[in-house]
Amino acid sequence: MEQSVDRLLTLEMFVAVAGEGGFAAAARKLGSSPPAVTRGIAALEARLGTSLFHRSTRAVALTDAGASFLGEARRILADLAGAEREVRGAQADPRGQLYLTAPATFGRLHVLPVVRALLEQHRDLGVRMMLIDRNVRIVEEGIDVAVRIGPLADSSLKAVRIGAVRQMLAASPAYLARRGAPARLAELAGHDLIGTMGPRAVNEWQFTSGRWRLEPRPRLVLNTVDAALAAAEAGLGIANLLSYQLADALAAGRLISLLPGEQPPALPVHLLFEPSRAALPAVRLFVAAMKARARMAGLV
């Protein structure tokens, strides 16, 4: 029994060091001492037969083995915490850390307000959120819930659809006054176009008439959605963005939607998580709150 307790404790130490970025900070979080945490990590590494951290006088960083093990360690501890809450009959009381990920702009506009409300209502709950425009490996990176926009690949993960968004073309009134509005897709080739780097690159804009490859390349390519949006509002050209990214600017008249009849089919918005996470109080509350947020924002 003592050995099992020690194993759980070393897992907690490992997750704390990874999350806090150091042994001293992890010790403070756990109410322990740095030497005790150091011994615990050393015992865990000896048991696993591999190093979990790169250590230096300035920083502690996960090794490849440590990064791979982190998701599993978090999952084990979360499963144990969930089992304990179920036994205590505390399923309605979220506590501990909720790990989330979402596309950057969607997360800022629609996930952060939900997180703020949850944190205000539940003092024992903490949230760690990764806002990034790439698909995070949910299991390997220890994510509880991920927001995904677009078609989903087949997997064992549970998917809950909360709404949909659309691809849209938009430009500022000043740009349109200067250059005129395109009446057909083919006329885009004569306009200044604003593109973004990444999965929705400008040379593969998708319309209802099929995939249309742009020639020549856009005059301006930016690496963030916020920058592309600002450039369009400044009159630098026509941007191809998603409806939720354009909503505020369109409502305020800073941008005008173009060629609405050429919009492609809507892209679904899903919440993804492991089926074993579905009963966790924090996950259940977050999913319900995101459904309500999507309805309120007109994403359904």
- Strands 96-102 and 145-149 turn out to be parallel
What is the reported pLDDT for 200? 54
Tell me, what's the pLDDT at 264? 79
> Cα(105)–Cα(34) distance, rounded to whole angstroms?
39
Q: Is the pLDDT of residue 4 over 50?
A: no
CA dist 268 and 299 (Å) reads 9
40-82 residue pLDDT tens: 999 999 888 999 999 887 778 999 999 989 988 888 887 777 6
**Residue 143's closest CA among 100, 95, 201?**
100
Average confidence score pLDDT of the chain: 86
Cα–Cα distances in Å, from 231 out to 174, 193, 225, 254?
12, 10, 10, 11
Instruction: Calculate mean pLDDT across residues 113-141.
Output: 90
| pLDDT at 229 (0 to 100) | 95
Q: Which residue has the higher pLDDT, 18 or 93?
A: 18
At residue 130 the predicted structure's pLDDT band, cuts being 50, 70 and 90, is very high
| Res. 91: pLDDT tops 70 | no
Q: What is the pairing mode between strands 60-62 and 53-55?
A: antiparallel
C-alpha span between 15 and 13 (Å, rounded): 6
Query: Which tops the pLDDT comparison, 275 or 6?
Result: 275
**Residue 185 — pLDDT band, cuts 50, 70, 90?**
confident
pLDDT: which is higher, 111 or 299 = 111
> DSSP for the chain?
-HHHHHHHHHHHHHHHHHHHTSHHHHHHHHT--HHHHHHHHHHHHHHHTS--EEE-SS-EEE-HHHHHHHHHHHHHHHHHHHHHHHHHT-TTS--EEEEEEE-HHHIIIIIHHHHHHHHHH-TTEEEEEEE-SS---TTTTT-SEEEEESPPPP-SSEEEEEEEE-EEEEE-HHHHHHH---SSGGGGGGS-EEEESSTT-GGG-EETTEE---SS--SEEESSHHHHHHHHHTTS-EEEEEHHHHHHHHHHTSSEEE-GGGPPPPEEEEEEE-GGGTTSHHHHHHHHHHHHHHHHTT--
Whether 105 has a pLDDT exceeding 70, the answer reads: yes
Q: Is the pLDDT of residue 265 over 50?
A: yes
pLDDT at 165: 93
Rounded to an integer, what distance in angstroms lies between the CA atom of residue 290 and that of residue 300? 11
- Whole-model pTM over 0.85: no
> Looking at residue 77, what is its pLDDT?
84
Q: Give pLDDT, residue 290.
A: 94
Query: Which residue type occupies 195?
Result: G
Q: pLDDT at position 3, please?
A: 47
Percent of the chain with pLDDT over 90: 49
> Which residue bears the tokens 């390997």?
140
206: β partners? 211
Q: pLDDT class for 84, splitting at 50, 70, 90? A: low
Q: Which amino acid is at 180?
A: G
